[in-house]
Structure 1
Amino acid sequence: IALIFSFICFVFVFFPMIMKGTSPSIAAIFTATVVTAMTICLINGFTIKALSAILATFCGLLIAGLTADIFGHFTSLSGYNVSNIESLLFVGQNTLIDVGQLLFAGVLFASLGAVMDIAMDVSSAVQELHVKNPALTPKELFKSGMNVGRDIMGTMSTTLILAFFGGSLGVWVLDYVYDLPYLQLINSNSIGIEIMQGISGSFGVILTVPIVALFSAWLPHYLEKK
């Protein structure tokens, strides 16, 4: 059901928003937030655990998007560096779509799964500790959440990098077969975009850990007192 809902959001929310002139980055953040909230709530219900994961996922996505924007600024990468830019420019001339922001919207969607995954993992672990031992303080729960998240973030970042690598395997094979010089490779737009996606996604995953650990440790004590 969550997968079907995600597809519906892309078709009936994200695409219509960018067609009406909304920035693709803003449309992506809104769509990703709706998808995250619905997916997590369908799995866990409207619980404190779900709320912690949703808030942390939103923060992690913002971090990933901001990292991509900063990386693109300093490396002169934008949505105009992609391979199919000619077709996109034609679309941009005949619609209200901001073609230059599509790349960064794609980074947000690509990072969403990994960020949501680690947020839910840590939130679930901390909630389980709280339920089994309500005497644990928020500080102790936060420390436990960090310990769990530290074990997950390394493999999750690697998973994200490998996903980007697998998605552009054809480009890497061509570069390897033609034995292009290192400086030409590292300065090519296609390689630069892959590096940007990997770094921004990894930053989002890594910094989501302390955020979700904080929410998961603090929210149960605060909301239960209320």
Structure 2
Amino acid sequence: MLYLFLTFVVLLLIVMGTRGLTLLFGLGINVISVLALLILIADGFNILITTGIIAMVILVVAIYMNVDNTKTASTAFKTSLLIMVVILLITVPLEFWANAQGLAAENQDELESFSLAAGISYPQLAISIIVINSLGVISETSVAITSGLNEIVENKPTLTPTEIFNDGFSVGNKILNTQTNTLLFNFFSSTFPLFFVIHSLGYGVGEIVNDKLVVAEVLTTLICTIGVILTVPITSYLVYRGSKKVTAN
């Protein structure tokens, strides 16, 4: 594992030069942030408030440390924050209604000798997992769309609001194709072991659809995908507002 990490560092520095050091520093901060989140939750801090604070730290590092254009970084950060709020509004009621949080029957062998009195709210923990899971793909999508759309607006300052939105959707559609596939592949790769267990136990379609672990993974993937899709109109609107202010001044 150490050799693999060193290979990653060397290749990163060869490809990106000194900018690779900034990326490594940002990755280090985000790793520490996630570990801090786990420790704070385990120590009894409010899960949702702690997740919100750590999520903002992760977004600041992921966006502002990797984007040179301040205008692009600011728009991408605002977009990511708005999407995070939308994800929370969707996830909070959905997790309580779906009742897919916590551990399932497939985990009983591993947990047989352990106490389940963890002292935390599993619904809130599930919400935290979805929010943290969505940050990477949302920040990446918002930065990509904002960068492309800002460049178009700067080269064509006479664009009308309709044209800006059309260009935003044009840029966003190309990015959404790859991001949606990324989320889909992540879903299947993370659930391969689970589906092997389900197959070996002879689950029927109804049992699979109602299995807690399957539902939790599906909810996470769908909510993250909704967040990525909403990035397109929100980013287009924010870029339009920014260009309108510049024109007015």
TM-score w.r.t. structure 2 length? 0.78
Decide which of 187, 203, 208 is 2:226's aligned counterpart: 203
Letter of the 2:177 counterpart: G
Query: For 1:44, what is the secondary structure of its paired residue?
Result: coil
Deviates more, 1:121-130 or 1:170-179: 170-179
Instruction: Name the counterpart of 1:71.
Output: 94
**Do the aligned partners of 2:141 and 2:175 also contact (CA within 8 Å) in 1?**
yes
Query: How far is 1:80 from its partner?
Result: 5.9
Decide which of 56, 60, 65 is 1:33's aligned counterpart: 56
Larger relative CO (CA 8 A, sep 6+): 1 or 2? 1
Give the Cα separation in 2 of the matches to 1:225 and 1:4: 41
Query: For 1:90, what is the secondary structure of its paired residue?
Result: coil
- Counterpart mapping for 1:36-115 below 5 A: 36-45=59-68, 47-79=70-102, 83=107, 89-92=116-119, 97-115=120-138
Letter of the 1:58 counterpart: L
**Do the aligned partners of 2:145 and 2:171 also contact (CA within 8 Å) in 1?**
yes
Instruction: Name the counterpart of 1:4.
Output: 28
**Do the aligned partners of 2:102 and 2:122 also contact (CA within 8 Å) in 1?**
yes
Instruction: Name the counterpart of 1:144.
Output: 167
Give the Cα separation in 1 of the matches to 2:186 and 2:115: 24
Identical residues among aligned pairs (%): 22
Deviates more, 1:121-130 or 1:83-92: 83-92
**Do the aligned partners of 1:89 and 1:99 also contact (CA within 8 Å) in 2?**
no
Letter of the 2:27 counterpart: L
Aligned length: 221
Counterparts in 2 of 1:220 and 1:50: CA distance versus 1, 3 Å: farther
Instruction: Name the counterpart of 2:188.
Output: 165
Give the Cα separation in 1 of the matches to 2:39 and 2:131: 18
Bigger-Rg structure (1/2): 2
Give the Cα separation in 2 of the matches to 1:46 and 1:124: 8
Query: How far is 1:224 from its partner?
Result: 6.7
**Do the aligned partners of 1:142 and 1:213 also contact (CA within 8 Å) in 2?**
yes
**Residues 121-141 of structure 1: CA distance to partner in whole angstroms, max 9, x if unpaired?**
110111111222222234422
**Do the aligned partners of 2:91 and 2:127 also contact (CA within 8 Å) in 1?**
yes
Instruction: Name the counterpart of 1:125.
Output: 148
Q: What do you get for the CA RMSD once the two structures are aligned?
A: 2.5
**Residues 189-222 of structure 1: CA distance to partner in whole angstroms, max 9, x if unpaired?**
1111111111111111111211111112212332
Deviates more, 1:66-75 or 1:190-199: 66-75
Counterparts in 2 of 1:153 and 1:107: CA distance versus 1, 3 Å: same
Give the Cα separation in 2 of the matches to 1:205 and 1:63: 11
Deviates more, 1:75-84 or 1:184-193: 75-84
Give the Cα separation in 2 of the matches to 1:27 and 1:44: 26
Structure 1 unpaired stretches of 5+: none
Give the Cα separation in 1 of the matches to 2:88 and 2:102: 14
Deviates more, 1:164-173 or 1:24-33: 24-33
**Do the aligned partners of 1:63 and 1:203 also contact (CA within 8 Å) in 2?**
no
Give the Cα separation in 2 of the matches to 1:219 and 1:16: 39
Letter of the 1:204 counterpart: G
Counterparts in 2 of 1:34 and 1:203: CA distance versus 1, 3 Å: same
Query: For 1:22, what is the secondary structure of its paired residue?
Result: coil
Counterparts in 2 of 1:135 and 1:224: CA distance versus 1, 3 Å: closer
- Structure 1 runs (4+) deviating above 3 angstroms are 19-22, 79-91, 97-100, 223-226
Query: For 2:65, what is the secondary structure of its paired residue?
Result: helix
